[in-house]
Amino acid sequence: MTGTFSSVNNALSALRYHQVVMDVSSGNIANVSTDGYARRRVIGEAMGAPVQPAMWSRYEGAGDGVKVGGLQRMVDQFLDVRARREHGNQSFLDVRQSVLERVEAGIGEPGENGVAAALDEFRSGWHVLANNPDSEAARSQVLARAATLADALSVQRRNVEVEEGDQRIVLLSGVDEVNTLAGDLAETNRSIAVAQMNGTEAGVLLDKRDALALRISELTGASATLNAKGGLDVTVGGVALVSGSDAGVLAVSSGINADGTADGGPVGFTVTSPGGTVTDVTGGVGGEAGGVAELLTTTLPAHRAGIEAVAQRLADDVNAAHGAGFDQDGNPGQPVFTFDPTDPGGPLVLNLDDPRLVAASATGGGPNRNGDNATAVADALSGAAGAYQRLVTGFGSEVASTRRLAGNQQALTGQVDAAREQLSGVSLDEEMVTMLQAQRAYEAAARVMTTIDSVLDTLINRTGLVR
């Protein structure tokens, strides 16, 4: 439509359009610190000739203003996919790093309260006894230091067992959180489908959808794909957990009992579909759940077995050397330690409680001042000491490797997050420029309307008057 009134409509459309631009920009500023919020941008469309040709009418206008073509969420699906993958990897390494560092702190090596120090004190006690084989104090000191050594090994094993118990509870809680998030995501998918069908703006729902999918990926290393209705379908280890508006149930199928105790098997997972079909997750679970499962299945049991192996080696070597000697009454030496991994105070249990039973002499037949066997027992400790050193060194190398991998992954995750933030994050400077631009355009449109009003006033009230 051409004519004076068309300019009024153009100005009106500009007023409406730039009002929306300022509203959206102010909404971006309001959500500058909202987690998961993706900034919006107004898409403007010029209004002109109708898209459908007509036989008996012709469009003769020169433009009919502007209208809002839609709101664009400033997101990139490729970056979102990468972010979910990198955050899943980061969570896997972070949980391993934190747990291994706690266990390493409990080892306390090198330190005056560690097993290595207790071994040195135990060896020193035998050397002192070799020089004073009939000393009651030296014999009591050997037994006291043997008890200290057994306690040191027991503390280390108990630290690992406590960490395993804590991680089993953490894993069960994490699985519960995954199921809650999966249910929320399925419901959000349903709402998005309804919103798209109704043609209503679904930006808030899409923000919520992406945040839920990212958190599920952090917990399980899950991957998510966009479906035809705008929702996200999530798979864990290749098994569908969320499909449209349907959510399955993730469960720990082995390794942990319902009360949080261990069942002795490796940690496994299943997904139960809404129809009741149970599928084993054989493709591997990542994220925090995968990290904890790997710790409970491999890393922590291996370290606990290493401690028990050192205790077994220590008991065997000391008992063999001690059995070759004779106690203060001339009787053959009895076993100093018993290896019992099921004992609450184990795995090393001290058998002797009488100083006279310490076999320091290499010659039998009655009391004597021979202390050669005490020296032999001290020398026999070198094998266990070497085994323990290798255990601690190997564990320390694993902790350092995990820390290095987590650091490298953090650099990669940070790059992806920075790229997403650059695209989706709210820039106050940019929003201020947008608002100023919209404000000035709004004022210009108002001026156009004032000008047209003046023209109309001249045409209607002053044209053709005879004075």
Q: Is residue 345 part of a domain?
A: yes
Q: Is residue 183 part of a domain?
A: yes
Q: Is residue 194 part of a domain?
A: yes
pTM of the model: 0.89
pLDDT at 290: 96
Helix axis angle for 203-220 and 136-198, nearest 10°, is 150
What does the pLDDT look like over 153-176, one tens digit per residue?
A: 999 999 999 999 999 999 999 999
| Same domain as 91, residue 31 | no
What does the pLDDT look like over 305-351, one tens digit per residue?
A: 999 999 999 999 999 999 999 998 899 999 999 999 888 778 999 99
| Same domain as 137, residue 47 | no
Q: Is residue 37 part of a domain?
A: yes
| Same domain as 110, residue 27 | no
Helix (H), strand (E) counts: the chain? 9, 11
| Same domain as 447, residue 325 | no
Domain with 440, as residue range(s), is: 4-74+425-462
Q: For residue 119, which of 310, 260, 302, 252 has the smallest C-alpha distance?
A: 310
| Same domain as 42, residue 88 | no
| Same domain as 237, residue 165 | yes
Task: Give 3-state DSSP helix, strand, coil % of the chain, rounded to 5.
Answer: 60, 10, 25
Q: Which of 345, 373, 395 is at the close of a domain?
A: 395
Q: Is residue 235 part of a domain?
A: yes
Q: Is residue 443 part of a domain?
A: yes
Mean of the per-residue pLDDT values for the chain? Answer: 93
Whole-Å CA distances, 131 to 65, 124, 369, 371: 106, 11, 9, 7
Are the beta carbons of 41 and 435 closer than 8 angstroms?
Answer: no
Residue 263 CB contacts under 8 Å (≥ 6 apart), including other chains:
254, 255, 256, 257
| Same domain as 324, residue 229 | yes
Q: Is residue 420 part of a domain?
A: no
| Same domain as 53, residue 25 | yes
Are the beta carbons of 268 and 281 closer than 8 angstroms?
Answer: yes
Q: How many C-beta atoms lie closer than 10 Å to residue 247's C-beta?
A: 24
In angstroms, rounded to a whole number, what is the distance separating the alpha carbons of residues 308 and 300? Answer: 12
| Same domain as 315, residue 271 | yes
As for how many domains the chain has, the answer is: 2
Q: Is residue 417 part of a domain?
A: no
| Same domain as 161, residue 53 | no
pLDDT at 466: 64
| Same domain as 53, residue 113 | no
Beta strands in 287-375 (DSSP E): 337-339, 348-350
Instruction: Match 């001339």 to its residue by tokens.
Output: 330
Q: How many C-beta atoms lie closer than 10 Å to residue 392's C-beta?
A: 22
| Same domain as 66, residue 85 | no
Asked whether residue 51 carries a pLDDT value surpassing 80, the answer given is: no
